[in-house]
Amino acid sequence: MSKQSFNAKLQDAGLERSVLSAIMCHGANLLLDIEELLSATDFYWPQNQKLFHVFSFLVKEKDIQTFDVPTILSTCKSKSFELFEKESDHLEYIESLPIGPPDKDNAISLSIKL
Protein backbone atom coordinates (compact mmCIF):
# COMPACT_ATOMS: atom_id res chain seq x y z
CA MET A 1 0.00 0.00 0.00
CA SER A 2 1.43 3.37 -1.00
CA LYS A 3 1.79 6.17 1.52
CA GLN A 4 -0.79 8.24 -0.37
CA SER A 5 -3.45 5.50 -0.31
CA PHE A 6 -2.73 4.87 3.38
CA ASN A 7 -3.17 8.59 4.12
CA ALA A 8 -6.41 8.63 2.13
CA LYS A 9 -7.80 5.87 4.34
CA LEU A 10 -7.09 7.97 7.42
CA GLN A 11 -9.02 10.97 6.13
CA ASP A 12 -12.67 11.56 6.91
CA ALA A 13 -14.30 12.54 3.62
CA GLY A 14 -17.68 12.76 5.35
CA LEU A 15 -16.35 15.30 7.83
CA GLU A 16 -14.96 17.46 5.02
CA ARG A 17 -18.22 17.16 3.13
CA SER A 18 -20.25 18.15 6.22
CA VAL A 19 -18.23 21.32 6.69
CA LEU A 20 -18.68 22.27 3.01
CA SER A 21 -22.38 21.43 3.20
CA ALA A 22 -22.85 23.73 6.19
CA ILE A 23 -20.99 26.55 4.44
CA MET A 24 -23.08 26.16 1.30
CA CYS A 25 -26.33 26.24 3.29
CA HIS A 26 -25.51 28.88 5.89
CA GLY A 27 -23.53 31.29 3.74
CA ALA A 28 -20.79 33.85 4.11
CA ASN A 29 -20.98 34.46 7.86
CA LEU A 30 -20.38 30.81 8.64
CA LEU A 31 -17.54 30.66 6.11
CA LEU A 32 -15.83 33.59 7.80
CA ASP A 33 -16.18 31.92 11.21
CA ILE A 34 -14.78 28.66 9.88
CA GLU A 35 -11.88 30.43 8.16
CA GLU A 36 -10.69 31.43 11.63
CA LEU A 37 -10.20 27.71 12.28
CA LEU A 38 -9.03 26.28 8.98
CA SER A 39 -8.11 26.99 5.37
CA ALA A 40 -8.44 25.14 2.07
CA THR A 41 -5.17 23.31 2.70
CA ASP A 42 -6.67 21.68 5.81
CA PHE A 43 -8.89 19.58 3.54
CA TYR A 44 -7.29 16.36 2.31
CA TRP A 45 -9.38 15.78 -0.81
CA PRO A 46 -8.48 18.11 -3.72
CA GLN A 47 -12.09 18.70 -4.80
CA ASN A 48 -12.92 19.83 -1.25
CA GLN A 49 -9.89 22.13 -1.15
CA LYS A 50 -11.03 23.72 -4.40
CA LEU A 51 -14.63 24.15 -3.23
CA PHE A 52 -13.50 25.79 0.00
CA HIS A 53 -11.31 28.11 -2.06
CA VAL A 54 -14.27 28.93 -4.33
CA PHE A 55 -16.50 29.75 -1.33
CA SER A 56 -13.80 32.02 0.07
CA PHE A 57 -13.25 33.71 -3.30
CA LEU A 58 -16.97 34.35 -3.74
CA VAL A 59 -17.26 35.96 -0.32
CA LYS A 60 -14.05 38.00 -0.34
CA GLU A 61 -13.77 38.97 -4.00
CA LYS A 62 -17.38 39.00 -5.19
CA ASP A 63 -19.16 39.90 -1.94
CA ILE A 64 -21.53 36.94 -2.31
CA GLN A 65 -23.43 36.16 0.90
CA THR A 66 -25.25 32.98 -0.14
CA PHE A 67 -24.20 30.17 -2.43
CA ASP A 68 -26.03 28.46 -5.26
CA VAL A 69 -25.02 25.73 -7.68
CA PRO A 70 -24.81 27.84 -10.87
CA THR A 71 -22.58 30.44 -9.18
CA ILE A 72 -20.28 27.77 -7.76
CA LEU A 73 -20.03 25.93 -11.09
CA SER A 74 -19.34 29.09 -13.10
CA THR A 75 -16.67 30.14 -10.59
CA CYS A 76 -15.02 26.72 -10.81
CA LYS A 77 -15.01 27.04 -14.58
CA SER A 78 -13.66 30.60 -14.58
CA LYS A 79 -10.88 29.60 -12.19
CA SER A 80 -10.18 26.46 -14.27
CA PHE A 81 -10.87 24.20 -11.31
CA GLU A 82 -11.50 20.66 -12.40
CA LEU A 83 -13.16 18.98 -9.45
CA PHE A 84 -13.73 15.68 -11.21
CA GLU A 85 -12.93 14.13 -14.57
CA LYS A 86 -16.47 14.51 -15.90
CA GLU A 87 -18.23 17.87 -15.70
CA SER A 88 -21.52 16.15 -14.84
CA ASP A 89 -19.87 14.86 -11.65
CA HIS A 90 -19.20 18.49 -10.61
CA LEU A 91 -22.90 19.24 -10.70
CA GLU A 92 -23.89 16.03 -8.91
CA TYR A 93 -21.39 16.57 -6.08
CA ILE A 94 -22.25 20.24 -5.53
CA GLU A 95 -26.01 19.64 -5.74
CA SER A 96 -25.71 16.91 -3.10
CA LEU A 97 -23.98 19.14 -0.54
CA PRO A 98 -27.09 20.80 0.91
CA ILE A 99 -28.68 17.45 1.76
CA GLY A 100 -28.70 17.15 5.55
CA PRO A 101 -26.28 19.96 6.42
CA PRO A 102 -25.24 20.40 10.05
CA ASP A 103 -26.46 23.47 11.91
CA LYS A 104 -24.05 26.37 12.42
CA ASP A 105 -22.86 25.36 15.90
CA ASN A 106 -22.20 21.79 14.80
CA ALA A 107 -20.34 23.06 11.74
CA ILE A 108 -17.88 24.90 13.98
CA SER A 109 -17.32 21.72 16.04
CA LEU A 110 -16.78 19.71 12.85
CA SER A 111 -14.29 22.30 11.60
CA ILE A 112 -12.29 21.96 14.79
CA LYS A 113 -12.16 18.18 14.30
CA LEU A 114 -11.05 18.62 10.70
Spell out the domain ranges in the chain. 13-113
CA atoms within 13 A on the CB side of 92: 6
What distance in Å separates the CA atoms of residue 88 and residue 76, rounded to the nearest whole number? 13
Whole-number Å distance between alpha carbons of 54 and 97: 14
Q: One-letter amino acid identity for 47?
A: Q
Digit-by-digit pLDDT tens for the chain (114 residues) are 444 444 554 578 889 999 999 999 999 999 999 999 999 999 999 889 999 999 999 999 999 999 999 999 889 888 888 777 677 787 888 888 888 778 888 898 999 888
Pick the CATH number of 13-113 from 2.60.40.2240, 1.10.150.670, 1.10.10.10, 1.10.860.10: 1.10.860.10
Residue 67: the pLDDT is 95
